[in-house]
């Protein structure tokens, strides 16, 4: 799928991985809405990207993805502004073992909400033209770090939900490809939070294990994650795929055994 002229909505797109993805989409001549709760970084990023890519290509909507009504409104405003919707990237995520119920809401419940809203605007079931959804998981779903139990659970959840929805899309002829992306450690503000008691609660005592893993596996740049994301966006053969991005193996895919019981 060529990205030129397509319309994308990216949650958590004001900084970090989301911002790199937004920039790459704009470079490829897409129109983009950033949905993020951080007004300062959202507006600051918009000003910079408008200078680089011209005004009228990027919208910023301040929204907490946990607020279902506000998220629904953000999807509708995107379609009202740009005419249609083709690409949805459910990327907003936090690292907070202390307030783990909030983390489940942001990292998993909001990804589910974002996927269902995306289908309302893109699925053939709703008389729409099809499109693509990418849900951001993490290598945490495979590495099992001792200081991120609930974060790990949410990222497992994102993979399971995404794979089943990809099957539902085929069975239901939605015309929407649905894939998951699992980055390794990425150099963003989120990575700094693993040292803080405010984020990690009682698991902060395992922070040296985490640092050891970071040194062992290395830290990626957000622009490289955006490169993998673009492959998921553009490769029309991918549905239900679980892309992993690591320093040692680069962009690659998890393979699953055929199901047997």
Using CB under 6 A as the binding rule, whether residue 18 contacts ligand NAD is answered as: yes
Q: How many other CB atoms are there within 10 angstroms of residue 89's CB atom?
A: 29
How far apart are the C-alpha atoms of 59 and 185, rounded to whole Å? 28
**Segment contacting ligand NAD by CB under 6 A, of 75-83, 86-94, 161-169, 235-243:** 86-94
Using CB under 6 A as the binding rule, whether residue 190 contacts ligand NAD is answered as: yes
Work out the end-to-end distance of the chain between its first and last CA atoms, rounded to an integer number of angstroms.
Answer: 37
**Catalytic status, residue 174:** no
Secondary structure class of 239 (helix, strand, coil): coil
Query: What sign does the dihedral 119-121-123-129 (CA atoms) show?
Result: negative
Secondary structure class of 173 (helix, strand, coil): coil
Distances (CA, A) of 118 to 7, 157, 188, 211, 221: 12, 18, 26, 37, 28
Using CB under 6 A as the binding rule, whether residue 24 contacts ligand NAD is answered as: no
**Binds ligand NAD by CB under 6 A, chosen from 56, 189, 218, 250:** 189
Element (H, E) at 187: none
Using CB under 6 A as the binding rule, whether residue 66 contacts ligand NAD is answered as: yes
Using CB under 6 A as the binding rule, whether residue 169 contacts ligand NAD is answered as: no
Q: Would you give the binding string for ligand NAD spanning residues 28-47, x where CB under 6 A is met?
A: --------xxx--x------
Q: What is the DSSP string of 76-104?
A: HHHHHHHS---EEEE------STTHHHHH
On whether the CB atoms of residues 17 and 43 are closer than 8 A, the answer is no
On whether the CB atoms of residues 75 and 131 are closer than 8 A, the answer is no
**Segment contacting ligand NAD by CB under 6 A, of 60-68, 118-126, 168-176, 200-208:** 60-68
* Burial of residue 28, with CB atoms counted within 10 A of its CB: 0-12 exposed, 13-18 middle, 19 or more buried: middle
Using CB under 6 A as the binding rule, whether residue 157 contacts ligand NAD is answered as: no
How far apart are the C-alpha atoms of 32 and 43, rounded to whole Å? 14
Single out the catalytic residue among 116, 151, 174, 256.
Answer: 151
**Segment contacting ligand NAD by CB under 6 A, of 8-16, 50-58, 231-239, 253-261:** 8-16
Using CB under 6 A as the binding rule, whether residue 93 contacts ligand NAD is answered as: yes
Closest to ligand NAD by CB, 75 vs 185, is: 185
Using CB under 6 A as the binding rule, whether residue 16 contacts ligand NAD is answered as: yes
Shortest spacing between CB 231 and ligand NAD, in angstroms: 16
Q: Would you give the binding string for ligand NAD spanning residues 99-138, x where CB under 6 A is met?
A: -------x-----------------------------x-x
Closest to ligand NAD by CB, 123 vs 133, is: 133
- The residues that touch ligand NAD, with contacts defined as CB under 6 A, are 11-12, 14-18, 36-38, 41, 64-66, 91-94, 106, 136, 138, 183, 185-186, 188-191
Known catalytic residues are 151
């Amino acid at each position: 799928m060529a990205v030129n002229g397509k319309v994308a909505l990216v949650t958590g797109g004001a900084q970090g991985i989301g911002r790199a993805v937004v920039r790459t989409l704009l470079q490829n001549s897409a129109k983009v809405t950033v949905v993020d709760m951080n007004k300062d970084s959202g507006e600051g990023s918009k000003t910079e990207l408008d200078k680089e890519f011209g005004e009228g290509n990027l919208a910023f909507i301040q929204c907490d993805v946990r607020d279902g009504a506000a998220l629904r409104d953000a999807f509708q405003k995107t379609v009202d502004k740009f005419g249609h919707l083709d690409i949805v990237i459910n990327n907003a995520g936090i690292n907070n073992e202390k307030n783990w119920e909030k983390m489940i809401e942001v990292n998993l419940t909001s990804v589910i909400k974002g996927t269902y809203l995306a289908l309302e605007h893109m699925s053939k079931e709703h008389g729409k033209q099809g499109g693509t959804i990418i849900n951001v998981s993490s290598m945490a779903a495979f590495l099992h770090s001792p200081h991120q139990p609930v974060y790990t659970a949410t990222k497992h959840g994102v993979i399971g939900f995404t794979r089943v929805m990809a099957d539902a899309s085929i069975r239901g002829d939605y015309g929407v490809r649905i894939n998951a992306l699992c980055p390794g450690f990425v150099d963003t503000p989120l990575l700094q939070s693993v040292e803080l008691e405010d984020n990690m609660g009682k698991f902060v005592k395992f922070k040296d294990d985490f640092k050891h893993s970071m040194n062992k596996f290395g830290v990626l740049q957000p622009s490289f994650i955006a490169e993998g994301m673009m492959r998921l966006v553009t490769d029309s053969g991918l549905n239900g795929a679980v892309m992993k991005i690591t320093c040692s193996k680069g962009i690659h895919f998890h393979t699953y055994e055929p199901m047997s019981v």
